Amino acid sequence: MSETYVSKEKLPGIVEQLMGTHRVFGPILKGQYHQFALLEESADLDLAFRNTRLSPKALFHPHSERMFEFTLEKGNPDAGILKEVPKDYRSRIVLGIRPCDAYAFKLDDRNFITDQFKDPWWVQRRESTTLVGLACNDPCSTCFCTSAGSGPFDTSSLDVLLVDLGEGYLLQAVTHKGEQLMGDLAGGESVPEHCTEQAAALKQSAEAQLGIQFNLDPVKQKSMVELFDAPFWEDVQFSCINCGTCTFLCPTCWCFDIQDEVYQSRGERIRIWDSCMFPLFTLHGAGHNPRDQKLKRVRQRFMHKLKYYPDKYADGIACVGCGRCVQHCPVNIDIRQVARLMAESCVCPV
């Protein structure tokens, strides 16, 4: 793994250089919140953030996306034929992504890339993107990545890791793609003495701040039916207003709906995010709705992340501990507390 050092005053120059060869996305302050967006100029990049309100999943799975277009014009030989809407797959860099958000893409890959099918748009966006992460020196009180298989300095899904050392950044290449990117950079300096040790100390301190906030081992031993029927779901669901905020902010919620929108003789097939918290999500064409009550929808979200997914893949949960749903749920429902309830609940035989 190669390392280089960039002092903070040289960063804008490096970003300009990258913008000459790639489309560069990064956190930009928009109103009150930081949000990942295309940089128009290097000064747009603002790395002084803790976590963005919206996760960067929209860079790979847009909130609303035109998939195909078609015409219904009478006499047109192409009438009714779906034509793919062109998309931009030029190479790009996502700069300043948090390690947990990058790790989320690895979990999302399981939905978009399977043995049976591959989502071509997801695949091409993944392939054309280099992920340059920013380590979390000072995690939020709502973060729990260390309890969810990731960590504040986790490099498992990054190409390059940046560590903020105060006066400058330590850049560590993780993958071949990352090595190539760093090799092309002019302006990097040799790593000053003690920087690697300083980064290791920051990692240790951030991990210690986070600790381990719940243990889901007992959930693995419990049967799905036992948890499904547990009485605590009544309490968990009580204050939920099914607003869908948790799912829209979540980097590992990938559900979408596909709709045809037609105006006069032209139409578009679009896909848009959907949420298991919405009552219509499971409404069947025949009128039956298997999740017709709030309790069933709330239970589904947590059971999917903390029981169904771990049972299916046996290597972690469908959550990366970014804490967004904890921070922004309007009624303070906390997935960490639900995880503890699931682990501690005892449905004892009478």
Sheet architecture: strand order including 266-273: 83-84, 64-71, 266-273, 256-263
CB of 241 to ligand SF4, least distance (A): 5
**Window of 114-122, 168-176, 250-258, 266-274 that interacts with ligand SF4 by CB under 6 A:** 250-258
**192: contact with ligand SF4 by CB under 6 A:** no
**54: contact with ligand SF4 by CB under 6 A:** no
- Short-list 99, 176, 184, 181, CA closest to 143: 99
Pairing of strands 23-30, 92-97: parallel
Q: Which residues pair with 34 in a beta bridge?
A: 29
**59: contact with ligand SF4 by CB under 6 A:** no
Length of the chain: 350
Given 224, 272, 330, 344, the residue binding ligand SF4 (CB under 6 A): 330
> What tokens appear for 58 in the block?
């929209």
**174: contact with ligand SF4 by CB under 6 A:** no
Question: Can you tell me the distance from the alpha carbon of 30 to that of 44, in angstroms, rounded to the nearest whole number?
Answer: 10
Given 165, 240, 303, 342, the residue binding ligand SF4 (CB under 6 A): 240
Cβ contacts of 344 within 8 Å, gap of 6 or more: 218
**131: contact with ligand SF4 by CB under 6 A:** no
Given 233, 251, 281, 343, the residue binding ligand SF4 (CB under 6 A): 251
CB of 304 to ligand SF4, least distance (A): 10
- Backbone conformation region of residue 31, classed left if phi is above 0, alpha if psi is from -120 to 50, else beta: left
**145: contact with ligand SF4 by CB under 6 A:** no
Q: Would you state the torsion angle of the CA atoms of residues 48, 52, 56, 59, taken in this order, to the nearest 10 degrees?
A: -70
Given 195, 246, 270, 303, the residue binding ligand SF4 (CB under 6 A): 246
**243: contact with ligand SF4 by CB under 6 A:** yes
Helix segments in 113-162, DSSP class H: 120-127
Cα 59 to chain centroid, rounded: 10
Which of 24/276 has CB closer to ligand SF4?
A: 276
**245: contact with ligand SF4 by CB under 6 A:** yes
Q: Where do contacts with ligand SF4 occur on this chain (CB under 6 A)? A: 240-246, 249-252, 277, 305, 319-325, 329-331, 333, 335
